[in-house]
Structure formats: C-alpha cells, structure tokens
Copies of this chain bind each other. A is one copy, B any other.
C-alpha cells in the first residue's frame, strides 16, 4: 500500500479521469474523447471527397492539426499516469493510439504518406472501451461470452467454408476458364466466397451451363450452412441465459450483473472489469482508487 501512496496524487486523479468512467470528470473525459474521435473520422472522410477538399482545404488541415495535437496530449497523459508505461505503449490500444496520431507528423517530412491519416479510423475501436457504460456493459458481456463459448465451433465452421471455397473455386476455374472471368484460382476462390456468403457482386458470373449448375450447388450450400453458425450462437445464447438463471435463482440476476462489474482500471497493470466493491486489483494486487 505504501507503494501506492508514493504515487503522486495528481497522477492518480488523472489516471481516474482518463482510464475510468465512474467519476463525473471521467465520464466527461470519455464523452469529449468520443466526440473528438468521431470528429476526426468525419474530417478524414470529408478530406477524401475531392470536391470538398478543394474548397475547404485550409480549414480541414487546421482542424486536423488541432485533433492530432489533442490526441498527442492524450497519448502522453496516458503514458505518464500509468506506473508501467511500456505496458500501455505495447498494448493493443497503445499501438492504435500511436498509429492514429503519427501519420500526420510523418506527412510533414514525407510527401505522399498523407493517405495514411485514414488509419485514424482505427481509433473507432476505442469506442468499445468508452462504452463501458452501465447499460451496455451487461449486453456486450453476454454477447462476448456467447461468442466465446461457440468459438471452437465457429472456427470449425469457418474452416469448412474456406475449404469448400478452395475446392469449388478450383473446380470453377477448370470448368469456366479464363475467357469467362475466372482468370486464376485465387480469383475463382474469391468468386466462390462471394457466392457462398450470398453476397453476389456479379462482377464475375458463370456463363457455361455446367458452371451455372455448380454455382447453383454452391449457392444452395451457402444458403443452407448459414443456419449452422446461427444455430450455434442461438443455442449457446439460450444456454448462457439458462445457466445465468440457475446460478442466480434467488436474486435479481439483472441487478446482479450491473453490480458485478464497473469501469475501474488498475493504475499498475491496466486490468479492467473489477467488482464494484473490489479494493485491490485481482491481477496484480495493487490498490484501486475510489473517489
């Protein structure tokens, strides 16, 4: 505990604001960050529209610099408020934060790299973090656990889809040939996935009767096997709901779920999803800071 006490107070405060969402200041920070991210995405989008960029180039450029500098400040603040900065820097979000901030600086020195500013769109992933709000917490946790439980089955399924695509793609390449757009096997496999997933762009389409017959089989196969992942997730989900009910048969399960987890984030190891009444991080034992 003495280890925690020596940690500067303003750093703790800043940590709570930046990493957590339980205090009013923390919530405000998250909302501002959310708006900044959305604004930066819209800027990148507008800039990519040539007619718009020609008109408002200066405005867009200045706005981008403001956003870039704000993100840079946030990046530095995140580093200095964590005890083990490298843990953050090399974490998933740390790398995304860097990748979405640095291209603008690079574009000063290297011409032609400006398009990379679009990498900023990756920042949208942080939205998942920001949405650690009470209401959606339970919903997304349930979703995540249903997907997690059916992970192995979905992997087997996707594997089967890929293998079917390669085999059918190769057959279509042999049947249709280059003259009908199936110029090589990878392209045939691409077409096969387009068909199997029922997307059907139509940029390539079979023209020989045999090719159309095989396409028919692929389509019906694709139409039928969509039932498999749906069935899996659905069953897993029903089961998860059932298990939940059994475990919490004596208490209000909904309320329980909301109590269980909060948005606190350990100052030492950045672990999240602590229990609401937790005093210490369950990963590193470091004390958690309440208001």
Copies of chain A in the complex: 4
- Which residues of chain A from 213 to 250 have any CB-CB distance to chain B below 8 Å in the complex? 213, 215-216, 219-220, 222-224, 226-239, 241
In Å, the complex CA distance between A111 and B202 comes to 34
Residue A209 is within 8 A (CB to CB) of chain B in the complex: yes
Residue of B nearest to A195 (CB): B199
CB atoms of B136 and A170 under 8 A apart: no
- Which residues of chain A from 153 to 169 have any CB-CB distance to chain B below 8 Å in the complex? 153-163, 166-167, 169
Residue of B nearest to A187 (CB): B212
The answer to whether A199 and B219 touch (CB under 8 A), given A121-B167, A136-B155, A234-B237, is yes
Q: Which of B41, B125, B156 contacts A143 (CB 8 A)?
A: B156
Residue A124 is within 8 A (CB to CB) of chain B in the complex: yes
The answer to whether A231 and B234 touch (CB under 8 A), given A156-B139, A201-B205, A216-B190, is yes
Given A128-B160, A147-B228, 20 more pairs with CB closer than 8 A: A44-B185, A45-B185, A48-B186, A49-B185, A50-B184, A118-B174, A121-B171, A122-B167, A135-B152, A140-B156, A142-B153, A143-B156, A154-B224, A186-B209, A187-B212, A190-B212, A190-B213, A224-B229, A227-B230, A227-B234
| Chain A residues close to B by CB (< 8 Å) | 41, 44-45, 48-50, 115-116, 118-119, 121-122, 124-125, 127-128, 131, 135-136, 138-140, 142-143, 146-147, 152-163, 166-167, 169-171, 173-174, 183-187, 189-190, 193-203, 205, 209, 212-213, 215-216, 219-220, 222-224, 226-239, 241
